[in-house]
Amino acid sequence: MKILIVDDEARHRRGMFHLLQAIRPEYEVVMAKNGAEALDMVPLLQPDVVLTDIRMPHMDGLTFLEKLSAFALQPKVIFLSAYNLFEYAQTALRYGAYDYLLKPVDTDKVEEVLSRIEQQLMEDKGKTDSKAEGILGSWLKGIVPSESLQGPEIVELLGHSGFAVVTEFCAGDGRSAGKSGARLCHELREIWSCVGAARSWTLEEESDRVLAVTLIAGGMKDPGICSDITQVRQALERMCYAPEYAGGRLSHAAGVRCKRLLEEGPHSFQTAMAALTLNFHDSWKGVVFAWEEPEMTGARLNLDHEQLFAVLCTQEAKAALQLCRTAFEELANGGWTNPDTLKDGAAFTLMMLKSRCGELLDRKTALRLAETSAKELPACETMFALLSALEARLLEVRRELQDKKRGRGEYAAEATIRLIQSRFMEELTLENLAEQFYFNPSYFSTLFKNYTGRTFSEMLTETRINRAKELLSDPECTLKIYDIAERSGYRDTKYFGRIFKRYVGVSPEAYRHKSLGNLGR
């Protein structure tokens, strides 16, 4: 904040200057000897507050206040008056002064009036920003033309090269997004500021969802090779796993870079919105940059459905799942395929399988294939969920094709074991799998333990630890401990170390040293 002190007595000017420096050292404080001098300084300094004496030579306080009305940006004027000029100060209030302070000035009174001004300025700025951002949002969506954009700050921002970023937070499970919008925008500004001037605001806000947009102006020539972008990506990925967003889904997408935001900003925004849908692919870890998209992104589902049927009939379930997974990973094209294309492919696969099986499936299973195709697959929010739903139906079909005598619970437990063995690196949960097999989680937990002799968590941990032991004891493996942790299904290296030592008795480092040492003997 900028403050201008106006007083013809040097002693009073210095006293007020030192007082303000003591209680608000971050303020910029400037002094003037009379109203005429202060009036010349206002257009250049553009102070937020003027503390002025009433009686001064050349131009008194009231005259100064009257002439200030001609300025476009008017500071808040506080009069300093002696007790015998009290009525004079009250008259000044009627003329538009913000407040008055009696001499000798009390520190607490100054503190109180400054706090009120700070609050009001903050509220005024919030209203101005909100209005400007509302217009910017409509402009990005193509609702209003560029001619509607006004204000020096906005014009300056849009006069540079840059790009748009969109961020979506869905609280999930019917929970409220609460005050996520303001906190989210603050974090986004902090993260993107290393790249260029960043302005972030809430574009859409619902009870359980927040959509924020950030405009990045200037700051780099090629975002694809900018070292700061690597830092930004890492920071955005960490945000996705931050406690304040736990239980929800946080996704970021940056649009293509444009030479001048004023002309191409809406296009950058549209490419960011399109890229946001690609966070369906778990491989992005919640962060997609549209400028990284390869020139050729078309892909088709290369899956022989007759072969899939034959594998389900004659081979292990693992072979059928691998056949299907390989085809969909190829279709995903490194995360650049539209989710709707993947969902359509999965639905088509199930309906083709339903048709091929014909009377071999009972009515309920056939109905589930149809319902999964029509309802469950289109509602999947991630590639993991899509493949889980698809594979669950494949396993169900194979169960009937292989042995209709086996109980549903036995099938579900065996299917879960296979999922653990093949997908232990992913975030498997008992609740998700129970839902896929239409079981209550508590009941499914008991069923699984009765069938295997171990809990779901114990089997998953054992599988992951065994994989870690294989990598640690492999003399040709040069992976760091944090890489081994991630490839064993643990994103937190410290947590991996604790779990490994609890199960094996030594740390991963010690286990590797001992294993490789024994090989050298």
pLDDT digits (tens, 9 = 90+) for 313-339: 777 888 989 999 999 999 999 999 999
Within its chain, how far is the Cα of 409 from the centroid?
39
Q: From CA 358, how far away is CA 451, in angstroms rounded?
A: 31
Name the percent of the chain lying above pLDDT 70: 89
Q: From CA 23, how far away is CA 108, in angstroms rounded?
A: 10
What are the tens digits of pLDDT across the range 444-493? 888 888 888 889 999 999 999 999 999 998 888 888 999 999 999 998 99
Q: Which residue has the tokens 């999964």?
A: 372
The sheet with strand 197-205 has its strands ordered as 197-205, 209-217, 162-170, 249-254, 287-289
Three-state secondary-structure class, residue 409: helix
Average pLDDT for 108-127: 78
Q: From CA 30, how far away is CA 46, in angstroms rounded?
A: 11
Cβ-contact 350, 393 below 8 angstroms: yes
Please give the class, per CATH, of domain 140-292: alpha beta
Cβ-contact 4, 46 below 8 angstroms: no
- pLDDT of 310 over the 90 cut: no
For the chain, which residues make up each domain, given as ranges? Answer: 2-105, 140-292, 305-452, 462-519
What are the tens digits of pLDDT across the range 243-276? 878 778 899 999 999 898 888 999 999 999 999 9
Q: From CA 419, how far away is CA 424, in angstroms rounded?
A: 7
Q: Does the global pTM surpass 0.85?
A: no
pLDDT at 152: 66
Average pLDDT for 305-309: 88
Radius of gyration (C-alpha) of the chain in whole angstroms: 33
Cβ-contact 144, 138 below 8 angstroms: yes
pLDDT at 380: 94
Q: Which residue has the tokens 């490194």?
A: 334
Q: From CA 121, how far away is CA 204, in angstroms rounded?
A: 25
Q: What is the CATH number of domain 2-105?
A: 3.40.50.2300
Q: 43-57, 192-206, 318-332, 391-405: which has the minimum mean pLDDT?
A: 391-405
Q: Is the alpha carbon torsion for 389, 395, 399, 401 positive or negative?
A: positive
Token couple for 215:
């405009």
Q: Is the alpha carbon torsion for 136, 138, 140, 143 positive or negative?
A: negative
pLDDT at 467: 92
pLDDT at 31: 94
Mean pLDDT in the chain?
85
pLDDT at 225: 46
pLDDT band at 405 (very low <50, low <70, confident <90, very high): very low
Task: Tell me the CA distances in angstroms from 178 to 174, 181, 187, one per residue in order.
Answer: 12, 8, 16
Cβ-contact 456, 477 below 8 angstroms: no
Within its chain, how far is the Cα of 317 from the centroid?
38
- pLDDT of 402 over the 80 cut: no
Q: From CA 19, how far away is CA 253, in angstroms rounded?
A: 48
The conformation of residue 375, written as its DSSP 8-state character, comes to I
Q: From CA 405, how far away is CA 7, in angstroms rounded?
A: 98
Token couple for 228:
């700061």
Q: From CA 372, how far away is CA 346, in angstroms rounded?
A: 10
Name the percent of the chain lying above pLDDT 90: 37
Task: Annotate 435-465 with b (16+ C-beta within 10 A) or e (fewer).
Answer: bbbebeeeebbebbeebbeeebeebbbebbb
pLDDT at 521: 47
For 462-519, which CATH superfamily applies?
A: Homeodomain-like (1.10.10.60)
Average pLDDT for 398-419: 74
What are the tens digits of pLDDT across the range 339-380? 999 999 999 999 999 988 877 788 888 999 999 999 999 999
Q: State how beta strands 162-170 and 209-217 pair.
A: antiparallel
Q: From CA 377, how far away is CA 389, in angstroms rounded?
A: 7
pLDDT at 403: 58
Average pLDDT for 202-211: 85
